[in-house]
Structures are given as C-alpha cells and as structure tokens.
Structure 1
Amino acid sequence: MHMNSAPHLLNEDRAEYQRVLDEALRNAHERPDLAAVGLRLNAEQLRTMALNATALIAASAAAEYEHYVKVRREMRTSTAAASAGGSVLSPAVGQSAESGGAGFAAVIAVLAPVLAGTAAAIFLLVGYILKMLSPTPSFADALLTAGWFFGALTAAAILVAAVGLLLTALRNGAAQVAEQVPAGELPDEVSRAKDAWRHALLERGILPFLRAALADPSADPASTAPPRPVSRIPKIGFSGPEFSSPAEGSTAGQRPTFTSPDFTSPDFGGPEHRPE
C-alpha cells in the first residue's frame, strides 16, 4: 500500500499512538540504536518531533491500522444490533412467548394473595358476627372454617410469590453478569488487530523515525518537517559534461573555410584572341 493512500488516525486512536511513542522513548535505554537519546536530542524533543510527524509515521502501519479499524467497526455494529434486538425484539417476542407462562404466573402470584385474603376477611368477619347472635346459626362454624382456610391460603400464596420474585431476581442478575463485558477489555479479534497495529507502528514507524532523527545532525526539534532518512548507500554524484570552445590555433576543431569563386570578365583582345 502506498503511503499516500494511508488513512489519517482517528481522534480516538491518537492517544494510543502517543502511548506507543512514550513507551518507545521510555525504553530507549534498552536499545543500542537509540543510545544517543539525551546527548544531542532529549526524549521530550524527540517526542515533539514524532508528534509533528504523526501522519508520516502512522502511514508506515497503514495496512494494520485499516484492519484494526474495520474489525472494531464490525464489532461495534454487531454490539449495537444485539443491543437493539434485546431492547426491541425481546419485549415483542418475549411478551408473546412468556406472557402465557411467566406473565400468567406473575398475575396469579399477585392476585392469589389478594383474593384469598379478601375472602378470608369476609368469611371470618361474617362468621364471628353470626357467632354473636343468641341463637347461633348452624353455618356460622362453616364460615369460620372457610375463613381460616382462605387465611392459610393467603399466607401460602404470599410465600410462593416471595420465593418466585427472589428466584427471578437471582436469574436476571446472573444473566446480566454473564453478558457484561469488563471495562477496557476487547474481544479477541479486535485485541489481536490492535496489537498488530501497535507492533507495526512501533517497528516500522516510530523506531525508524527516532533513529533517523538521532542520526541527522541538522535535525531541528522545533521544525515540523520530518528528519531526512539516513541512507547507508552513498550518493553517487553526476556532473554535466564540459563544453568548451576550441582553443585558438588548433586545427582539430576548426571549421572548413569557404571562399567565393573568382569571377573575371572575359578577355577581349585582337583577332588572335577571338573565342572559338
């Protein structure tokens, strides 16, 4: 890929570029080719020069960066689609599938204690009122028995509803923990693409730039222009051919001389010189 076609770094990746640069400068003492850091150019000056040449350095790892951006974009697209599907499709599909199961059970769990408690209160109230009459009706005891039965049923319904709510809360909490991605952790494919870009950026971009800056005696830390690349092949000089005018008196380079022909008038003499 040509360097002219390399994409510029996105704003969200400039911080990562600076981290790779800072790591290279921080570990410069471990590399013999960067042993000159601090002699003529210090780390801060080299950092400024590398930041000014971000586009040039990033172009050296253009292929890896394009792959990293592509994989990351696909991951974000799939995550957004999954989130949209979970928030839009789940209620539509879940309500149709679970409304007959979990929804009906939830309704029963809520209504059963209310209905049973109401019935228990009515039967007990009516039963004890009938018990207060002087001739006690024969069905007063049956009403009290039914009241206590519905009271027990109310207690059981409340217990079942509490257990169901607890189990539902635990299940939903476990599902959320399982689906949650830890902050700062990327999927394997995106992580591998990012590591490949960082490695190419360091080995093919930042380190060669720092070596060239240290080897160039005319490098100006305040200049925005990148240092001239140091070539190990000596430059071959070519000089134009010399063209000089021929020396005076030399016959080798003299042009031939041309003289005009002599035209003389015919001689008119005596009869002895008549033309034939």
Structure 2
Amino acid sequence: MTSAPHLLPEDRADYERVLDEALRTATDRPEPSAAAARLGAGQLRAMALDAAALINTAAATEYAHLVRVREEHRRPSGPVTGPSAGPGFPGPQGEVTPGAGLGVVVTVLTPVLAGTAAVVLLLLGYVLRMLDPPPDIAGQLLSAGWFFAAVTAAGLLAAGAGLLVTALRNRPAEVHGTGAAEPDEVARAREAWHHALRERGVLPFLYEALAASDAHPVGTQEPTTPRPPAPGLAAPHAD
C-alpha cells in the first residue's frame, strides 16, 4: 500500500507501546517454540522497530483517519487573540501588527529609564554628601534617587507579572501521553489504530519472524526480516 501515511515522530511512542504489548503475547505463548530461545524479545523488538513504516501499512486506513481527525482538532477555530496577536506582537503567520500601544511602551521603558535615573541621582547625591559641609541639594538628589529606585522595582514587578500572564495564556496545549485529556473522537481514532496495528501488523510480523527462525536452526543462515501480511489478514492463534 504505497499511499499509507508515514509514521509521524509523535506517534513513535504509541507504536513502541503496541509493540511491547504484542511482544508479551508473541513470546509468552503456552508452548514456546525453539525460535523463542533463538530470537529473544530484544531481537524481535529491534526488527519490528526497523520495519515500523512497513508494519504500519497494515493499519494505514486507521492511521490516516487518526492523523486527519487530530489535525482537525488542532486547527484553530477562530482568529488568534491575546498578547501574541496584539499590536506590536507577531501574528500567527509571523507578521507584526502596527502600533505597539502606549501600555507596552510604558511597561518596557519605565524600568529602564527609572533605573538609569536612580543610579545617576543616588551616585551624585552620595558624592555631594561626602563634601564638608554637604550642599542642600545632596539630600534632594538622594530623595529623588530613591523614588526612582522604587519606580524601577514596581516597573520590574509589573513586567514580570505581564510576562507570567502572557506565558500562561500562550501555553501550548499538552499532547497525548502527558496526562492531558484529548477529544473523544481523537481517542477513539487512536484506539482503532492501536487495535489494527497490533492485530494486522505487529503480531503477524512477530509470528512470521518466529516461524522463519524455526525454519533456520542455529548454525544456518539468519532468517530475513519478514514482511507484515496484507491488511485484512488476521494473526495466527497462539494455541
């Protein structure tokens, strides 16, 4: 099936989980063959990982449905709003909307200007205070310097709070596997893919690998990597 979608990196972990579950079924049969001693679980797993794209073709229909449904749910349903799409911020396509806005300019420039003024005024005030006798302006410079220092601290606090709010508002949605709930339609599509992948792809591949190893006892040529059966063929029963 040449039209089968390529296994995406984000689904690699799901593939490995299905493979590990199938390995327990294939290698823990009631009457294990001599091949089980020759091809261990690690060897079978490595073979199945190398043939992941080929094995996934057996569940191509279900996987294509999962990818399509997941992309539909990830696609934004409306225009992007919030700080990341506001004036002066890059939009969804990377463009920057004109007009930064007075609030943004004040938030950015206030700590810088107030901090610079505080350093200059405090430095001059303490230098003049060292004179004997100290001029009256020294006290005024120190008072102004400490005032601008307080403005600087308030500006930094406001900027930090703004960054925190922006980060929380623009936090990307957690993907499957991190504990976050995903839409029911995506969950059902994922479960259908898992079942098809296990029953029509991974298990038949593992059973064929064990059968091929049975036909090549130790000391003969290594069996070649088996191909998964065509979609629709069921795995042999583990009697």
TM-score bracket for this pair, using the shorter chain length: 0.5 to 0.7
Partners of 1:52 and 1:224 within 8 A in 2: no
Which of these residues, 157, 164, 170, is aligned with residue 166 of structure 1? 157
Q: State the SS of the aligned residue for 2:223.
A: coil
3-state SS of paired residue (1:88): coil
**Residue 41 and residue 9 in structure 1: after superposition, are their counterparts in 2 closer, same or farther (change >3 A)?**
farther
Return the letter of the residue paired with 1:7. A
Deviation of residue 67 (structure 1)? 2.4
What's 1:7 paired with? Answer: 4
1:101 and 2:95 matched: no
Return the letter of the residue paired with 1:162. Answer: A
Which residue identity does 2:99 align to in structure 1?
A: S
Identity of aligned residues (%): 32
TM-score by length of 2: 0.54
> In terms of mean alpha carbon deviation, does 221-230 or 153-162 score higher?
221-230
Taking the TM superposition and a 5 Å limit, the aligned residue runs for 1:170-181 are: 170-173=161-164, 175-176=166-167, 179=171
Deviation string 1:58-100 (CA, Å, 9 cap, x unpaired) is 233112211233355667886xx98x9696239944x7243x1
Q: CA RMSD in A?
A: 5.3
Give the CA deviation at 1:160.
Answer: 2.0
Q: Which residue of 2 aligns with 1:35?
A: 30
Q: 1:206-236 deviations in whole A, cap 9, x for unaligned? A: 235556777899866714454887899xxxx
Q: What's the secondary structure of 1:7's corresponding residue? A: coil
For residues 3-152 of structure 1, what are the structure 2 equivalents within 5 Å?
4=1, 6-7=3-4, 9-10=6-7, 12=9, 16-28=14-26, 34-36=29-31, 38-42=32-36, 44=40, 57-71=55-69, 88-89=90-91, 92-93=96-97, 96-98=99-101, 100-104=102-106, 106-111=108-113, 114=117, 118=121, 144=136, 148-152=139-143
- Residue from 167, 175, 195 that aligns with 1:199: 195
Aligned twin of 1:222: 223
Structure number with bigger Rg: 1
Q: Cα gap change, 1:109/1:165 in structure 2, threshold over 3 Å: closer, same or farther?
A: closer
In structure 1, runs of 5+ residues without a counterpart are 133-142, 233-276
Gap runs ≥5 in structure 2? 217-221
- 2:18 aligned partner, one-letter code: V
Q: Which one-letter code corresponds to 2:199 in the other structure?
A: E
Change (3 A) 1:22 1:149: same
